[in-house]
């Protein structure tokens, strides 16, 4: 199992969460076609009105690393930056289960 | 979008993580056939050697609630309990993206 998984916790500035979600959904449309991207699910927290959680699963670490060099993804990160107060990645190693 | 999503953070007692993962993988085999279960991915943390994260996605909250009344699932929760020091659910509302 060489798959790469992470959760990305993005805390928006107050009032900016929905704008951030909108940008992320546009990113997801692009990632849909991206080699090696298996899951890129955007969730909002039920507990904190400023928090977005992204569930990512990639074929391997290389596919994830390559996505971060993609021109479109880099531009998207730039456009999200002013909306984001904090980023907290949770790095995972998937071991099994349904959906892998 | 009525889907139900959560991350379950399970902290094992020291040295018990792999035993816990093994039990969870057996659970996942059962959930594979369970009505309304779309994702049930077991991950270990890359940052904390005692932590397991479960990525759950269900058709709706009702399907998730029903799973918690399933006899097999209840027995499994009982068998995991002695291995677990703490549980921290992260409740989510999925809004879109790849894999939904």
Would residue A35 count as lying in a domain?
yes
Would residue B59 count as lying in a domain?
yes
Would residue A47 count as lying in a domain?
yes
Question: Secondary structure of A54-90 in the HEC alphabet?
Answer: EEEEECCHHHHHHHCCCHHHHHHHHHHHHHEEEEEEE
Would residue A86 count as lying in a domain?
yes
pLDDT in tens, A14-65: 999 999 999 999 888 887 778 899 999 999 999 999 999 999 999 999 999 9
Q: Which domain holds residue A33?
A: 4-13+25-58+68-92
Would residue B97 count as lying in a domain?
no
Would residue A20 count as lying in a domain?
no
* DSSP letter assigned to residue A32: T
Instruction: Tell me the residues of chain B between 2 and 61 that have a Cβ less than 8 Å away from chain A.
Output: 5, 7, 21, 24-25, 28, 31-32, 37-47, 53-55, 57
Would residue B100 count as lying in a domain?
no
Q: Using 50, 70 and 90 to split pLDDT, how confident is the model at B53?
A: very high
Decide: A3 and A38 in contact? Cβ < 8 Å: yes
List the single residue in A28, A46, A96 with the smallest CB-CB distance to B96: A28
pLDDT over 80 (residue B1)? no
Total number of domains constituting chain A: 1
Please indicate whether, in this complex, the C-beta atoms of B41 and A100 are within 8 angstroms of each other: yes
User: For the complex shown, is ipTM > 0.85?
Assistant: yes
Residue B20: give its domain's CATH number.
3.30.70.100
Taking contacts as CB-CB distances below 8 angstroms, the residues of chain B near A53 are 7, 90, 92
pLDDT in tens, B18-27: 999 999 998 8
Query: Pick the residue with more confidence: A38 or B1?
Result: A38
């Amino acid at each position: 199992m060489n798959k790469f998984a992470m959760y990305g916790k993005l805390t928006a500035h107050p009032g900016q969460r929905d704008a951030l979600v909108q940008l992320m959904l546009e990113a997801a449309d692009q990632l849909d076609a991206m080699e090696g991207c298996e899951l890129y699910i955007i969730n909002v927290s039920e507990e904190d009105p400023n928090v977005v959680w992204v569930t990512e699963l990639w074929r391997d670490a290389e596919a994830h690393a390559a996505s971060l060099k993609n021109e479109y993804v880099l531009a998207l990160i730039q456009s999200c930056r002013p909306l984001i107060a904090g980023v907290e990645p949770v790095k995972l190693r998937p071991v099994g289960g349904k959906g892998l």
